[in-house]
Structure 1
Amino acid sequence: MNYKLLGSSDLKISEIAFGAMSLQGSDADNAALIQQALAAGINYFDTADLYDKGANESTLGKALQGKRKEVIIATKAGNQWRPDGSGWDWNPRKEYILSAVEGSLQRLQTDYIDLYQLHGGTLEDNIDETIEAFERLQEQGKIRYYGISSIRPNVIRAYVEKSRIVSVMMQYSLLDRRPEETCFELLQQHNIGILARGSVAKGLLVNKPATAYLNYTAEEVQRAANAVKTLSNAQRGPAQTALRFVLQQGPVTAAVVGIRTPEQLQDAVAAADAPLLNAGELEQLKAAVAVNVYEQHR
C-alpha cells in the first residue's frame, strides 16, 4: 500500500481509502471486513452522519475499537435529518455543525475526528459562519483538520479563498473528468488534497452494462469501458486500471472506494500494487471519450 500526505495536513493516508457508506452487513460482518482492510494496509476510513441515519458511523466506530491510533477517521456534517425521519435538510449553520460533531464523536466512540468535512455547500450559505464552526472545533481539539465534499467549482473556490481546508472530496473518473478543468490546478497550487470518489463510475467502467451516465450516452460509456478492458491484463484488471487512471493524476491523494464485500476490497487493494499506466496508456484512456466540463456552479 502507498501512503501520501493529505494536503497541508500531517495525515498520511493510504491511497486506497475505505468508503464505509456501502456497508450493509451486521456489526460483526462489517468489523471482519474492516479488519481485512486494516491488514491490507488501508488506514483511512470515510463515513458521514447522514449515512443510514448515523448507524454507519456507529458500525465503523465499533469495528475500529482498539485501533484508534492506527487509523484516520473522516466523517461529514451538514445534512440534518428531520425528526420524523422522512428526509433531511441542508444545514451548514454554525450552531448545527457544533452540535452535530457531538453525535458523530459518540457514535464513532472517539474523542476526536481526524478529518471533518462539510457534506455539500452552496454560495447561498453563510460560508464565514460555517468556517468559524470548523475553526472552533479545531481549537477545541475535537477535530484535527477539516475539508469539504463538493463538486461545485464556485463553492470550492470560495473555501480555498476563505478557509484552511486541507482536502476536497469530489467525484472523478474516466467518465467524469470535470475537475480537471476547474479544480485540479487550483487545489494543487494551494496544497489541498483531492479525495476522489466514484472512480469506477458506479461499476460502468468495470462490470456493469453500459447505460447513459452524466452527459455521456450508453454508446460512449461502452467505449470508455472497452478502453479500460483493452488495457487490462492478468496483473491489472479493469477495476485496477480504472483506479490507476485516477490515482496517477497528480493532485489526487487517494481514491475513496465504496466497499461492501471481501471481493470489492480485494479489487480495490490490488490497485495499489498494480502496474502503473504508462503515458501512452493514459492518453489512450483519455482519447476514448470526449472530456466533459461543469455546466453549472462555475
Structure 2
Amino acid sequence: MGDNVLLTPEVIAGTDIKVSPIGLGTVKLGRDQGVKYPDSFTIPDTRAAQELLVLSRELGINLIDTAPAYGNSEERLGPLLQGQRNDWIICSKVGEEFNNQTGQSHFDFTPEHVRLSIERSLQRLQTDVIDIVLVHSDGNDLEIIQRYGILEQLEHLKKEGKIRAAGMSGKTVEGGIETLKRSDIAMVTHNLNYQEELAVIDFAATNNKGILVKKALASGHLSQQYENPLQASFDLIFGHPGVSSAIIGTINPDHLRANVAAAYNSLRKN
C-alpha cells in the first residue's frame, strides 16, 4: 500500500459529524464469547490494542465503534483514547447487555435503562459526550421504536449534550426506515451475501440521512465466487451514495491495511 492511501472523512448526511469511510469495530477488543467469526482469536493486550489504534489513525480512520454488548470494549477504550479524544468519533450503543461471566446477552430498551446505559458509557469511555449512539436491536425493530419511545429518549439526551447523533442498528427494512424518519442514522447489514436492507440505504440517500454499514465483510464469511471478494465487497458498499461508513472489526494490522487499500480503490471509482 502506497503512502498516498489515506482515507478522508466526510460528513454524515444530515449531521455535522465527519467520519472516515471505514470505522474500526471493537468487538474483538472486549469479547470472545458468542461471536460469529469463522476463526477463533485472542483478545489483544493493551499494547497491541494501542498499536491498532495508532495504525488506524495513520490510515485516516477516525470512527471507532463499540457497545456495552462488546464485553469490556468500552472500559478498555477509555484509557486507550486518553489524550486523543478529539481525534476520534465514537459510536456506541444502548439496549443490549452482555454478561462476561455467563456469555449471555439480554435486552432492555426502557427509557430509564437508556439513560443509565449512556451515563455508564460516558464513564467507561472517559468522555463528556458520545458522538453517535445507536439502539442495539434484538430484531424487533418496530416494536422497540413504538413501544419504548427509545429514539425520543435519545433525542432528549442529544438536547442535554450527552450525545451528538442517534439512531438504530437494526435488522429490518421497516425498522431502518422508521429509524431514519425519527432520527439521524441507521446501521444496516449490507454485503455480497446479503442485500435485503438496500431499501433503507435508498431511503437515506433521498432523505439526507446517515447510513453506517455493519457486517460489510460478512463477519469473515466472504463469498468466494468473486476473484477478489474484498475489493468486490467495498465496490458494492461504496457504489451506493447513501453509505457514510462501513464498520470493519479486525485486530489484524495486515487485514486493516488491506481493507483500507480496497476501500480507497472503491472510493476512487465513484
TM-score per shorter chain, which class? Answer: 0.7 to 0.9
Amino acid at match of 1:269: V
Counterpart in the other structure of 1:124: 143
2:89 is the counterpart of 1:65: no
Map Cα deviations across residues 150-170 of structure 1 (whole Å, 9 max, x no partner). 121222233233x2x221111
Structure 1 pair 31/22, CA: closer, same or farther in 2 (3 Å)?
same
- Normalising by structure 2, report the TM-score: 0.84
Which of 159, 163, 167 is matched with 1:143 structurally? 163
Which of 51, 57, 64 is matched with 1:38 structurally? 57
2:69 is the counterpart of 1:50: yes
Counterpart in the other structure of 1:173: 191
Counterpart in the other structure of 1:10: 16
2:207 is the counterpart of 1:190: yes
Q: By how many angstroms is 1:64 displaced?
A: 1.4
Provide the C-alpha distance between the structure 2 equivalents of 1:83 and 1:15, rounded to a whole number of angstroms.
31
Amino acid at match of 1:4: E
Equivalenced residue count is 248
Counterpart in the other structure of 2:40: none
Counterpart in the other structure of 1:294: none
* Gapped regions of structure 2 (runs ≥ 5): 1-6, 30-42
Structure 1 pair 126/175, CA: closer, same or farther in 2 (3 Å)?
closer
Structure 1 pair 135/262, CA: closer, same or farther in 2 (3 Å)?
same
State the identity %: 28
Structure 1 pair 156/66, CA: closer, same or farther in 2 (3 Å)?
same
Counterpart in the other structure of 1:19: 25
Provide the C-alpha distance between the structure 2 equivalents of 1:194 and 1:110, rounded to a whole number of angstroms.
24
Q: In 1, are the aligned partners of 2:167 and 2:180 still within 8 Å (CA)?
A: no
2:237 is the counterpart of 1:265: no
Amino acid at match of 1:240: Q
Provide the C-alpha distance between the structure 2 equivalents of 1:82 and 1:47, rounded to a whole number of angstroms.
16
| Residues 86-101 of structure 1 aligned to structure 2 (within 5 Å) | 87-101=104-118
Counterpart in the other structure of 2:37: none
Greater C-alpha radius of gyration: 1
Structure 1 pair 191/85, CA: closer, same or farther in 2 (3 Å)?
same
Structure 1 pair 92/86, CA: closer, same or farther in 2 (3 Å)?
same
- Normalising by structure 1, report the TM-score: 0.77
Q: By how many angstroms is 1:125 displaced?
A: 2.8
Counterpart in the other structure of 1:204: 221
Q: Let me know the Cα RMSD of the aligned residues.
A: 2.2
Map Cα deviations across residues 218-259 of structure 1 (whole Å, 9 max, x no partner). xxx4xxx23x21xx4xxxxx4233223211212111111011
Counterpart in the other structure of 1:107: 124
Structure 1 pair 278/9, CA: closer, same or farther in 2 (3 Å)?
closer
| Residues 259-298 of structure 1 aligned to structure 2 (within 5 Å) | 259-274=250-265
Amino acid at match of 2:239: Q
Amino acid at match of 1:107: R
* Gapped regions of structure 1 (runs ≥ 5): 206-220, 233-237, 280-298
2:176 is the counterpart of 1:156: yes
2:233 is the counterpart of 1:242: yes
Structure 1 pair 190/27, CA: closer, same or farther in 2 (3 Å)?
same
Q: In 2, are the aligned partners of 1:95 and 1:133 still within 8 Å (CA)?
A: no
Q: By how many angstroms is 1:203 displaced?
A: 2.6
Counterpart in the other structure of 1:254: 245
